[in-house]
Amino acid sequence: MRCLIVEDVDFEREMMEFFLADYAVTETACNGEDAVELFTRAVAEGRPYQLVCLDILMPKMSGQAALKKMRQAEAAGDPAHKAVIIMTTAMNSREDMEEALWQGDCTDYLVKPIILADLVALMRKYKLIS
């Protein structure tokens, strides 16, 4: 499984890599712009990500904006493939999350602090691992 971790805080990005090392080949981006670039290239080269962990509040381009662009990029590639995109955020209210979920067509979300077991459960739910 190929996974893209998008997170602007170095330590958190590193920990996400550590957590997911047993499950996926991970690549990272520290803002929305870089993430969209990596995602688009992966789609174009025919080796798309199966999982994207996408932070919402980031400088340059927000997670929501990146999500929209990723789904657009995806539409140009293999129609059978749709990445599992999990938004991760420190946003306070559930309403914010639901808005992100419905407006941007993300697959699911996790509210920080992130619990590894929850992340693993989501991967299982979306059949990324058995």
Partner 1 sequence: MPINEKLFRLLIDNAMVGVYIVDEEQLFQYVNPALTAMLGYTSEEVIGTFRFPSFIHPDDIPLLVHNYQQRLSGEIPSARYEARALHKSGRVVNIEIYGTYVDINGKRSLAGTVIDITQRVTAEQALEELNRTLEQRIATELALSREKDRMVMQQSRFAALGEMVAGIAHQWRQPLNMLGMSVQALQLAHGKGILTAEFMERHTEKSLEVLKYMSQTIDDFRNFFRPETAPRNFRLDEAVERVVVFFTSSVNTIAITTDVQNRATMCGHMNELSQVLLNILNNARDALLERQVEAPAIVVAVTRSDTANLIRVSDNGGGIPDELIDRVFDPFFSTKDAAKGTGLGLYMVKSIVEKSMKGTVTVRNTGTGAEFTITLPFPGADDCGVERKGEHT
User: Cβ distance 35 to 53 under 8 Å?
Assistant: no
The minimum distance between CB 39 and partner 1, in angstroms, equals 19
d(CA 86, CA 83) in angstroms, rounded, equals 9
> Which tokens is 93 given?
């209210």
Closer to partner 1 at the Cβ: 43 or 67? 67
Size of residue set near partner 1 by CB under 8 A: 23
d(CA 53, CA 3) in angstroms, rounded, equals 8
Site for partner 1 in 57-116 (CB under 8 A): 57-59, 62, 64-65, 90, 92-93, 95, 112-116
Closer to partner 1 at the Cβ: 78 or 118? 118
d(CA 122, CA 84) in angstroms, rounded, equals 10
Cα separations in angstroms, 41 against 74, 76, 109: 10, 11, 24
Closer to partner 1 at the Cβ: 42 or 100? 100
Closer to partner 1 at the Cβ: 13 or 38? 13
User: Cβ distance 13 to 5 under 8 Å?
Assistant: yes
Our finding on whether 40 is near partner 1 (CB under 8 A) is no
Position 93, amino acid: S
Q: Which residues bind partner 1 (CB under 8 A)?
A: 8-9, 11-12, 15-16, 18-19, 57-59, 62, 64-65, 90, 92-93, 95, 112-116
